[in-house]
Amino acid sequence: MAAHHQHGDHTAAFDFAEAATRFKERAAAEAAQYRRLAEQLAAPGDRVVADIGCGAASMAFALAEVLPEAQVVAVDAEPAMLDLVRERAAESGAGVRAALASVDDAGALAEAVGASADLLWAGHVIHHASDPQAALEHLAGLLAPGGRLAIGEGGTAPQFLPWHVGVGKPGLELRLIEAGSRRLEGEGIEHGSAPLAYGWNVALERAGLVEVREVNELVAKPAPLEGADLAHALESLGTKVGWFEHYLSEDDKAAWARLLDEGGPEWLGRRRDLHHLSIDTYFVAVKP
């Protein structure tokens, strides 16, 4: 049994059932991004593809659109996420099958995917594994010869605010990012896991894969953010404050409460100096 590490009375583990609605809303906002990524990763001959640790299965639905003849599987260890996938599939008519498995369980993964895979996508999930290197090896073992494993890992956290917003101490958003790092560390301690001590490209090579390449996509939207871009920034900041609040100081929590209060005089939605800067990183590797 993994050791439990709590911050006061708070567990670092996410409540996926509580977050399901938020995941669905985020998936709708990111559909175009995942469609573009699916087009870059898919190959015309792909017949078995899977979205591992799928969450709301944005990649699975994008792959089903790009590869209409392929078997598309959305795999997650959280039943609440699979319920969300089935709901989305029923609404859209997409041929996406939901299957329960953890990246830590090689047998369950093999049963979930069901056949040698041409393409596996694991977006921001491997770092949650009890043993990330073993998880990569599990996934590599599911690939057909010449199959590809793509993982979304690394990059930089989005930043939306100036260094000082005039509320609270300077560096408010940087401390929010750092709080997220401490929550991830706490989650690892609860699960009895340890982070990799080397880069993801090396980890993929150690899993027996070749032709490893790293792709970095820059998101750089200048101030002032407006419309959907502003709404995304506000939603993202509000979500992170809610997720990481137990790792924030009382002063920072008070500052965020003022900044996110739509009825207050300091609401971020009325500012003209919000921007969006981040780097999304993914790695692709091939089974010999």
Torsion of CA 114, 76, 187, 193, to 10 degrees: 0
Q: What is d(CA 98, CA 246) in angstroms, rounded to the nearest whole number?
A: 33
pLDDT tens, position by position, 170-210 = 999 999 999 999 998 888 888 778 789 999 999 999 999 99
Neighbours of 184 (CB within 10 A): 16
What's the rounded mean pLDDT across residues 216-240?
95
Burial category of 18 from C-beta neighbours within 10 Å (exposed 0-12, middle 13-18, buried 19 and up): exposed
pLDDT band at 98 (very low <50, low <70, confident <90, very high): very high
Highest CATH level, class, for 6-286: alpha beta
Name all contacts of 58-61 with Cβ < 8 Å and 24+ positions apart: 58/27, 58/30, 58/31, 58/34, 58/123, 59/34, 59/121, 59/123, 60/85, 60/96, 61/27, 61/31, 61/34, 61/88, 61/89, 61/92, 61/94, 61/96
Q: Residue written as tokens 């977006």?
A: 123
Instruction: Look up the pTM and report it.
Output: 0.88
Contact yes or no for 110/94 (Cβ under 8 A): no
Contact yes or no for 207/8 (Cβ under 8 A): no
Structure confidence at residue 12 (pLDDT): 47
Contact yes or no for 60/68 (Cβ under 8 A): no
pLDDT tens, position by position, 121-153 = 999 999 999 999 999 999 999 999 999 999 999
Amino acid at 19: A
- For 156, the 3-state DSSP assignment is strand
Q: Where are the domains of the chain?
A: 6-286
pLDDT tens, position by position, 52-90 = 999 989 999 999 999 999 999 999 999 999 999 999 999
Residues 6 or more apart in contact with residue 68 via CB below 8 angstroms = 95
Among residues 156, 162, 158, which one has the least CA distance to residue 224?
A: 162
Among residues 239, 95, 113, which one has the least CA distance to residue 180?
A: 239
Q: Which two tokens stand for residue 160?
A: 């939306």
Structure confidence at residue 185 (pLDDT): 87
